[in-house]
Amino acid sequence: MTLASQLFGFPSLTLAAAVEALLAIRLYPDYVRSHGHLMAVVGAILVNYAFGIVFWAFLYPRFFSPLRRIPGPKALLSAAYISLIVKDGPGGNLFLDLAERYPDQDLIALDAFGRQILVAKPRLLADLLVHKCYDFSKPKRISAFLRRIIGDGLITLEEDQHKFLRKNTMPAFHARHITELYPMMWAKAGILMRALNREIANAAGAESKGSAVLELTSWASKVTLDIIGVAGMGRALNVVEKASDPLQEIYEQLLEPDREKLIFATLCLAVGFPVIRMFPWKMNDLFVYLISSLDNICRDLIREKRRAIQQDKDDHFDILSLLIKSNNFDDEVLKDQLLTFLAAGHETTASALTWSSYLLAKHPEYQQKLRDEVTAALGEIITAQQQQQQQPPPSADVLAGTLRQLPYLNGVMHETLRLYPTVPLTMREALRDTRLGEQAVPRGTEVVVSIWQINRSREIWGADAAAFRPERWINADDGRANRHGGAKSNYDFLTFLQGPRSCIGQEFARAEMRCLLAALVTSFEWELAMDEDSAVPRGVITIKPEHGMYLRMRPLRQGV
Cβ neighbours of 532 (radius 10 Å): 10
Q: Is the pLDDT of residue 558 over 80?
A: no
Q: Is the pLDDT of residue 274 over 80?
A: yes
Tell me the pLDDT tens digit for each residue of 438-487.
999 999 999 999 999 999 999 999 999 999 999 999 999 999 999 999 99
Q: What is the mean pLDDT of residues 498-514?
A: 94
Dihedral Cα 487, 492, 497, 499, nearest 10 deg: 80
Segment (H or E) for 224: helix 216-233
355-367 pLDDT, tens digit per residue, is 999 999 999 999 9
Residue 107 pLDDT > 80: yes
Q: How far is CA 87 from CA 92, 330, 355, 529, in A?
A: 12, 44, 19, 22
Q: How many other C-beta atoms can be found within 10 angstroms of the C-beta atom of residue 197? A: 19
Which 8-state DSSP code applies to residue 131? Answer: I
DSSP 294-351: HHHHHHHHHHHHHHHHHHS------HHHHHHHTT---HHHHHHHHHHHHHHHHHHHHH
- Structural domains in the chain, sorted by start: 1-62 (no CATH), 73-141+423-493 (3.30.43.20), 157-422+494-553 (1.10.630.10)
Is the pLDDT at 251 greater than 60? The verdict is yes
Mean pLDDT to the nearest integer, 380-397: 72
- The annotation places the binding site at 503
Characterise 16 by phi-psi region: left (phi > 0), alpha (psi -120 to 50), beta (else).
alpha
Instruction: Identify the sign of the CA torsion 78, 79, 82, 84.
Output: negative
Report which of 460, 470, 526 is spatially closest to residue 493, judged by C-alpha positions: 460
pLDDT the model gives residue 56: 75
CA–CA gap between residue 459 and residue 100 (Å, rounded): 10
Which residue, 141, 121, 117, is CA-closest to 434?
117
pLDDT at 359: 98
Taking residues 262-273, report their average pLDDT. 89
3-class state of residue 5 by DSSP: helix
Asked whether residue 388 carries a pLDDT value surpassing 70, the answer given is: no
Could you read off the pLDDT of 170-223 as tens digits, one per residue? Answer: 888 899 999 999 999 999 999 999 999 999 998 866 556 789 999 999 999 999
Q: Which amino acid belongs to residue 506?
A: Q
Helix 37-54 and helix 10-27, axial crossing angle in degrees, nearest 10: 140
pLDDT tens per residue across span 534-552: 899 998 778 999 999 999 9
Binding-site residues for heme: 503
Q: What CA–CA distance (Å, rounded) separates 560 from 558? A: 6
Predicted confidence at residue 219, as pLDDT, reads 96
513: Cβ contacts below 8 Å, ≥ 6 apart: 349, 352, 353, 356, 413
Please say whether the beta carbons of 447 and 128 come within 8 A: yes
49 or 404, which is more confident? 404
Average pLDDT over residues 101-113: 94
Helices (H), ranges, 363-465: 364-386, 396-405, 407-419, 451-455, 458-461
Q: Which long-range contacts (CB under 8 A, 24 or more apart) does 556-559 make?
A: 556/522, 556/523, 556/524, 556/525, 557/386, 557/523, 558/210
Provide the percentage of residues in the chain whose pLDDT is more than 90: 56
Q: What is the pLDDT of residue 421?
A: 96
Query: How does pLDDT run across 391-403, given as a tens digit for each residue?
Result: 667 899 999 999 9
Where residue 560 falls among pLDDT bands split at 50, 70, 90? very low
Mean pLDDT for the stretch of residues 44-60: 80
pLDDT averaged over the chain?
Answer: 89
Measured between alpha carbons, how far is 175 from 453 in angstroms, rounded to an integer? 30
Burial class (CB in 10 A: 0-12, 13-18, 19+), 435: middle
pLDDT tier at 430, thresholds 50, 70, 90: very high
pLDDT at 31 over 70: no
User: pTM of the prediction?
Assistant: 0.89
pLDDT of 224 > 50? The answer is yes
Q: Please tell me which residue, 313 or 151, carries the higher pLDDT value.
A: 151
pLDDT of 122 higher than 90:
yes
pLDDT of residue 206: 52
| Helices and strands counted in the chain (H then E) | 23, 12
pLDDT higher at 390 or 160: 160
Give 528's DSSP letter.
E
Rg, C-alpha atoms of the chain: 27
Side-chain half-sphere CA neighbours of 146 within 13 A = 24
